[in-house]
Structure 1
Amino acid sequence: MPRSPRSVDVPGLAHNAPIPVAARVGPLLCSSAIAGKDPSTGQLPADSGIQVRLAFANMQRVLATAGASPADVAKLSVTLSDDSAREAVNAEWLALFPDPADRPARHVVVHALQHGLALQLEFIALIQKEG
């Protein structure tokens, strides 16, 4: 029986390295680092708040491309280059996961990032439906 491709690529979100944006094995979906780049231009805004908004939108695009939704996310890891972006992250988090009884686990690390990145998101999801 042929196996479905595990690599998930999303137009406008490709990495410079030869790695996919995410990988799916059965119902398990794991992302690579998702940045706050504008997918239509490939540019990284200087404003960290805009990067946060774009990163969460990009994460949703990855999920949708793989046949998943935010409800399938089990864990979200956030790496911030500066803790000042945490408020913007929390605003996007609450918008995406408004029910306190129905949120994924989350881990935030503050660590230097390359290329002017304000943040990177990585998620683990378990897809409940076939897609």
Structure 2
Amino acid sequence: MGRRKSIEVEGFGHGATPIPAASRIGNLIASGGIAGIDTASGKISGDLEAQVVAMFANLRRIVEAGGGSTEDIIKVTIWVRDRGARAVIDPHWTRMFPDAHSRPARHTLVYQLPDPMLVQCDFLAVLE
């Protein structure tokens, strides 16, 4: 077994592709794309608010499955279809990262995501 460990999360995956939710080497976790998938149904909701809630819940589940917490996240990249999505994302962002002096870096990009996806993210975390 190599030093890289695949991180799998029940109910979250990349369909039939052989891609883990994230990978860990040592104290570093890097995720793949994290969409707003409802893990109970395996579907992406058509509503931006529901997708954002599910995306952040999936982010938390993935970093925790890798042995970390949201406190270990140092960078999040978010892709949105519409620049106006930031108004929906920001309240959830500040709930997940409430300390304004200890938030991860974030880059939000407008991108033509495939239907029905309205938002997607990935993250980088460094565990203590």
Q: Considering the TM-score relative to the shorter chain, is it more than 0.5? A: yes
- 12-21 or 30-39, which moves further after superposition? 12-21
Structure 1 match to 2:9: 10
1:7 corresponds to which letter in structure 2? S
Note the residue ranges of structure 1 that are not aligned, 5 or more in a row: none
SS in 2 for 1:58: helix
Give the RMSD, CA atoms, in angstroms. 1.2
Q: Give every structure 1 segment of 4 or more consecutive aligned residues whose post-TM-superposition deviation is greater than 6 Å.
A: none
Q: 1:115: Cα distance to partner? A: 2.5
Q: 1:82: Cα distance to partner? A: 1.3
2:50 is equivalent to residue 50 of structure 1? yes
Cα offsets for 1:76-106 (capped at 9, x unmatched): 0000011222111101110011111000100
Structure 2 match to 1:77: 77
Structure 1 match to 2:111: 111
SS in 2 for 1:29: strand
Note the residue ranges of structure 2 that are not aligned, 5 or more in a row: none
2:95 corresponds to which letter in structure 1? A
Paired with 1:61 and 1:5, the residues of 2 have a C-alpha distance of 19
- TM-score (norm. length: structure 1): 0.92
Aligned pairs, number: 127
- TM-score (norm. length: structure 2): 0.95
Structure 2 match to 1:61: 61
Q: 1:43: Cα distance to partner? A: 1.1
SS in 1 for 2:43: coil
SS in 2 for 1:6: strand
Q: 1:3: Cα distance to partner? A: 4.6
Structure 2 match to 1:21: 21
Paired with 1:14 and 1:99, the residues of 2 have a C-alpha distance of 30
State the identity %.
Answer: 35
Q: 1:62: Cα distance to partner? A: 0.2
SS in 2 for 1:103: coil
Paired with 1:72 and 1:36, the residues of 2 have a C-alpha distance of 21
